């Protein structure tokens, strides 16, 4: 027998769904309830109520959104796979494959052990988003599930309440905003704010109630005046005045460091009209009624937001000097603004706005799929998605006039990756409004951006310091990881061949059985992986060389004994030649800035490969306790790249001295990378400058040119 509360809730669900479902579909929903109630029999929520009441409440939320009967069935069954012995196949047999796929997409990975709670959350979130990419109804059920959990949060302990509230504000509210479901987003923010910061919530709410009477009177007066002026121009419109939500007030206070009295006097109105043409005519009427605030007009009708949202936004100087926020939109645009992608099911209008929201949501999901494929792990993927959910946007144009929506702060590199991965990987420069600009320049709304590419170009690790979009960050990391592995393999093979050659061997001449046995010992799946391990500094080439040859070292010997044996092999091997083309697995540190011609030594660093120092570098002393990690290196006869070198100049304080120094460096065919000036006294200053040079001879030419300047007292190369 069903409990009275459950019967009432089931009837409530069916009454809501009866407005748009046929009797056969309603019967399926009832059957799903009976199936779910049997599966969850005996299970209780933390609050003590029967568990089935939660799925029913989730289905009621979705019925208000007019979701199809398959979504309602999935909502009723959404915890069955996770919390009962019933599997996906049984649900598919009873209710069809689509319902089973939605329920499976919502089920958490509860049977796998992860290293941390953060990794568990990230993997479950990743799994849900992948299911969402296949069927967008997965996320709608999840949002409804989270909404009911937020409404019943008081039954949980305080730490868990705060954790769920923070997750809701950081992930689910932004997802609801990205999908344009404004009503759910606002409730997420209010409930999350109340649970995460209860004291701040109560204080702001108390202040709102205190001034509400006077505020309502002002809002009504402004609303009546707006209606009257629109009627005089024969424009039919519904005008709604609203209070700002508590969470938006709190955010504005925090971001702009304002007091409550500086925020609560912002009044917001929504003007709903019948056509797009009327939107612009109404805008003209309102601008003649109250003066607009310069720079505060935004046309989201001509250029919709990424989630399909369309509206005209303007801020006016209202009565008493109070700013008035006004949004003007059609009724279809208003439906999409409140329901987002759910407008497709809620109104069945088939209008352009709802279709636009659906299209943009799917474009976003395609980008999410690309990020998932290139992310190194679940937590990295979650961070990339969080970045991508950043709500503020700028709108820029391609050279062909197409509009691209980018997150605020995005650069030309973000823009290039948003168009295509290959374009981002090969970009070398950009033109903003037809003028060359640095790749790190933040883009602004209205700019036209053109990307300049080069055939041999590849992503620069420094780009990670300024890109802001999740796709750009994930793609660059993915490329650099693969690039580093390729470079590590090449370097590792050279290092191993060098060690083997000292024994009169080569990789090709090794006994296959010995190689296989050594790889098994190292727990590696092939020579390529072994080369990468050596190149990254995770394994010592001398030890590997002896393991691969018939002469196996005593792996059980103490570290001193092994170290001595390794050094004997190292001393017999020829120096490793540094060509400058090894990439990220050969590093030249800033402590001594080694350049071709310097006497150098290499040091193996796990994960980084070889770090090359000058022999005279003070930091080399730190490595004397680990001689087994030293690598004998020497410069190649020809090195085809530039290297950094640091100079210290004592100069006389005169106007234009820096320009003279920069000109002399440029005339010597060197490039300035960094410059720093510090004043020593009223007469003298010191200029620290990092320049790029080819070798010691080139550096000597630059120093000679600088010493010819009359205002330069002293020039020395700095090595520490």
Under a CB-based contact definition with an 8 Å cutoff, are residues 409 and 380 in contact? no
Q: Residues 6 or more apart from 590 whose CB is under 8 A from it?
A: 644, 646
* Strand pairing class (323-330; 312-317): antiparallel
* Strand pairing class (609-614; 586-587): parallel
In DSSP terms, 578 is beta-bridged to: 635
Active site residue 83: yes
* CA pair distance 158, 12, nearest whole angstrom: 32
Q: Residues 6 or more apart from 622 whose CB is under 8 A from it?
A: none
* Strand pairing class (267-273; 323-330): parallel
Under a CB-based contact definition with an 8 Å cutoff, are residues 519 and 527 in contact? yes
Under a CB-based contact definition with an 8 Å cutoff, are residues 316 and 282 in contact? no
Under a CB-based contact definition with an 8 Å cutoff, are residues 354 and 347 in contact? yes
Residue closest to 541 by CA, chosen among 582, 505, 592, 509: 505
* CA pair distance 60, 40, nearest whole angstrom: 18
Cβ-in-10-Å burial (0-12, 13-18, 19+) of 142 comes to buried
Q: Residues 6 or more apart from 296 whose CB is under 8 A from it?
A: 313, 314, 315
Catalytic residue among 12, 68, 83, 243: 83
Both tokens assigned to 228: 């009257």
What DSSP state is assigned to residue 688? E
Under a CB-based contact definition with an 8 Å cutoff, are residues 599 and 698 in contact? no
What residue spans of 432-558 are helical by DSSP H? 470-501, 512-522, 527-535, 541-548
Under a CB-based contact definition with an 8 Å cutoff, are residues 35 and 81 in contact? no
Q: Residues 6 or more apart from 170 whose CB is under 8 A from it?
A: 386
* CA pair distance 7, 238, nearest whole angstrom: 39
* CA pair distance 249, 252, nearest whole angstrom: 5
Active site residue 497: no
Catalytic residue among 64, 82, 167, 642: 82
Q: What kind and span of H or E run contains 143?
A: helix 137-151
Helix, strand, coil percent values for the chain (each to nearest 5): 55, 15, 30
Neighbouring CB atoms inside 10 A of 438's CB total 11
* CA pair distance 448, 445, nearest whole angstrom: 9
Residue closest to 309 by CA, chosen among 282, 329, 325, 291: 329
* Strand pairing class (298-299; 427-432): unpaired
What residue spans of 69-136 are helical by DSSP H? 69-76, 80-83, 88-95, 97-106, 117-134
In DSSP terms, 330 is beta-bridged to: 273
* CA pair distance 465, 651, nearest whole angstrom: 33
* CA pair distance 612, 577, nearest whole angstrom: 12
Q: How many CA atoms lie within 13 A of 482 on its CB side?
A: 10
What DSSP state is assigned to residue 614? E
* CA pair distance 8, 11, nearest whole angstrom: 5
**Residues carrying an active site annotation:** 82-83
């Amino acid at each position: 027998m069903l409990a009275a509360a459950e019967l009432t809730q089931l009837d409530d669900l069916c009454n809501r769904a009866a407005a748009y479902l046929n009797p056969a579909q309603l019967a399926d929903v009832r059957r799903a309830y009976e199936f779910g109630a049997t599966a969850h029999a005996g299970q209780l929520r933390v609050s003590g109520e029967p568990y089935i009441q939660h799925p029913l409440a989730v289905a009621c939320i979705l019925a208000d959104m007019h979701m199809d009967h398959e979504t309602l069935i999935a909502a009723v069954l959404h915890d069955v796979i996770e919390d009962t012995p019933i599997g996906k196949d049984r649900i598919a047999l009873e209710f069809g494959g689509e319902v089973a796929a939605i329920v499976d997409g919502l089920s958490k990975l509860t049977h796998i052990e992860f290293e941390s709670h953060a990794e568990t959350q990230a993997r479950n979130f990743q799994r849900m988003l992948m299911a969402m990419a296949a069927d967008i109804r997965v996320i709608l059920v999840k949002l409804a599930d989270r909404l009911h959990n937020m409404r019943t949060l008081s039954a949980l302990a305080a730490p868990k309440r705060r954790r769920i509230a923070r997750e809701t504000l950081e992930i689910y509210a932004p997802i609801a905003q990205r999908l344009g479901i404004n009503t759910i987003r606002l409730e997420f923010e209010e409930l999350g704010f109340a649970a995460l910061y209860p004291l701040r919530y109560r204080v702001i709410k108390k202040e709102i109630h205190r001034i509400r009477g006077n505020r309502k009177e002002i809002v009504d007066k402004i609303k009546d005046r707006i209606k009257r002026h629109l009627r005089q121009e024969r424009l039919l419109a519904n005008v709604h005045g609203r209070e700002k939500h508590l969470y938006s007030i709190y955010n504005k206070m925090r971001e702009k460091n304002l007091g409550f009295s500086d925020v609560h006097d912002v009044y917001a109105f929504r003007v709903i009209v019948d056509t797009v043409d009327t939107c612009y005519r109404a805008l003209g009427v309102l601008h003649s009624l109250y003066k607009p605030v310069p720079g505060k007009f935004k046309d989201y009708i001509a250029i919709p937001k990424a989630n399909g949202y369309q509206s005209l936004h303007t801020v006016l100087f209202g009565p008493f000097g109070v700013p008035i926020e006004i949004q003007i939109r059609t009724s279809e645009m208003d439906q999409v603004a409140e329901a987002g992608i759910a407008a497709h099911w809620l109104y069945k209008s088939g209008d352009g706005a709802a279709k636009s929201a659906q299209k943009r949501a799917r474009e976003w999901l395609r980008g999410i799929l690309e990020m998932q494929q290139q992310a190194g792990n679940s937590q990295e993927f979650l961070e990339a998605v969080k970045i991508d959910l950043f709500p503020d946007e700028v709108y820029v144009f391609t050279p062909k006039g197409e509009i691209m929506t980018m997150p605020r702060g995005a650069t030309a590199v973000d823009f290039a990756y948003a168009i295509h991965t290959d374009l981002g990987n090969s970009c070398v420069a950009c033109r903003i409004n037809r003028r060359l600009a640095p790749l790190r320049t933040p883009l602004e709304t209205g700019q036209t951006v053109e990307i300049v590419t080069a055939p041999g170009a590849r992503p620069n690790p420094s780009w990670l310091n300024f890109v802001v979009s999740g796709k750009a960050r994930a793609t660059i990391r993915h490329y650099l990881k693969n690039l580093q592995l390729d470079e590590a393999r090449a370097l590792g093979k050279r290092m191993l061949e060098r060690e083997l050659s000292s024994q009169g061997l080569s990789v090709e001449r090794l006994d296959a059985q010995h190689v296989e046995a050594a790889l098994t010992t190292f727990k590696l799946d092939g020579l390529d992986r072994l080369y990468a391990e050596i190149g990254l500094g995770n394994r010592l080439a001398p030890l590997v060389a002896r393991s691969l040859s018939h002469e196996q070292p005593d792996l059980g010997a103490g570290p001193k004994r092994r170290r001595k044996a390794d050094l004997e092999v190292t001393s017999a091997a020829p120096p490793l030649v540094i060509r400058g083309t090894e990439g990220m697995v050969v590093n030249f540190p800033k402590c001594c800035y080694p350049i071709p011609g310097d006497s150098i030594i290499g040091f193996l660093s796990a994960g980084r490969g070889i770090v090359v120092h000058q022999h005279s570098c003070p930091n080399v002393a730190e490595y004397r306790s680990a001689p087994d990690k030293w690598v004998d290196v020497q410069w190649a006869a020809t090195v085809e790249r530039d290297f950094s070198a640091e100079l210290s100049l004592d100069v006389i304080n005169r106007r234009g001295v820096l320009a003279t120094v920069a000109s002399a460096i440029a005339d010597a065919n060197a490039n300035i990378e960094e410059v720093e000036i510090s004043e020593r006294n009223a007469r003298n200053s010191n200029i620290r400058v990092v320049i790029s040079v080819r070798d010691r001879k080139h550096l000597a030419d630059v120093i000679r040119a600088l010493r010819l300047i009359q205002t330069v007292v002293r020039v020395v190369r700095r090595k520490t």
